[in-house]
Amino acid sequence: MNLSQMFSQEQKKEELQLEFPLKGFGKDRIKKATPLFLSLENIGKGKVEIKGECELEFTLACDRCLSPVPTRLPLRFERIVYAPGMEIPEEEDDQGFMDEYDLNLELLLEEELQVCWPTKILCHEDCKGICPSCGQNLNEGSCGCDTFVPDIRFANLMDIFKGNE
Ligand SMILES: [Zn+2]
Ligand SMILES: [Zn+2]
């Protein structure tokens, strides 16, 4: 996406609606994507503010039991991009998605996606996970394995107490 006109025409504003570019995003995992709304606005010489908004639907694996979890991910971002030769403030230092006057939208989206990626995926709040010895999904019933794992920190503490006796 070439931004040279956006950079040079003060107060120019453009609003676009695009298909979310699925390729390069683990397409198989994205189930659905709403159209991507983009607004570009010249906010001074050589400076363009980019706002984007869309919603993605993924199927991700539960962190504990690995079963598939349908996940909705709203993607919203605001970034300022700079024309070549402009001084870039430190907090916007990372402009790897800009190549001269060209915006690599996919790279930008990838970066923003990482920022808003959920930190934890659970099929439900109290998912019991899988048995560490036999791999049984414990939400579907217990397996009868002896899963008692002594806590090493606690064991060390016990040693200390014993030593003090
Ligand atoms: Zn789970
Ligand atoms: Zn088991």
Secondary structure of residue 125 in the 3-state scheme: coil
- Band (pLDDT 50/70/90 cuts) for residue 79 is very high
Give 126 Cα–ligand 2 centroid separation in angstroms.
18
Distance in Å, CA 149 to ligand 2 centroid: 13
| pTM greater than 0.75 (yes/no) | no
CA of 68 to the centre of ligand 1 (A): 8
Could you list the beta-strand ranges (E) of 1-46: 13-18, 30-33, 36-42
β 98-99/68-82 pair status: unpaired
What end-to-end distance do the CA atoms of the chain give, in Å? 73
Asked which of 27-31, 45-49, 67-71 is least confident by mean pLDDT, the reply is 27-31
Question: How far from chain centre, in Å, is Cα 140?
Answer: 30
The predicted pLDDT at position 150 comes to: 60
Spatial contact of 96 and 146, defined as CB atoms under 8 Å apart: no
Tens-place pLDDT, residues 5-16: 999 999 999 999
Cβ partners under 8 Å of residue 41, min gap 6: 11, 12, 13, 14, 48, 49, 51
For residues 157 and 1, which has the higher predicted lDDT (pLDDT)? 1
Residue 21, pLDDT > 80, answer no
Please tell me the distance from the alpha carbon of residue 58 to that of residue 46, in angstroms, as a whole number: 36
For residue 152, the CA-to-ligand 2 centroid distance in Å is 21
Identify the nearest ligand to the CA of 62 by its number. 1
Two tokens at 57? 């639907």
Using the mean position of ligand 2's atoms as its centre, give its distance from the Cα of residue 132 in Å. Answer: 7
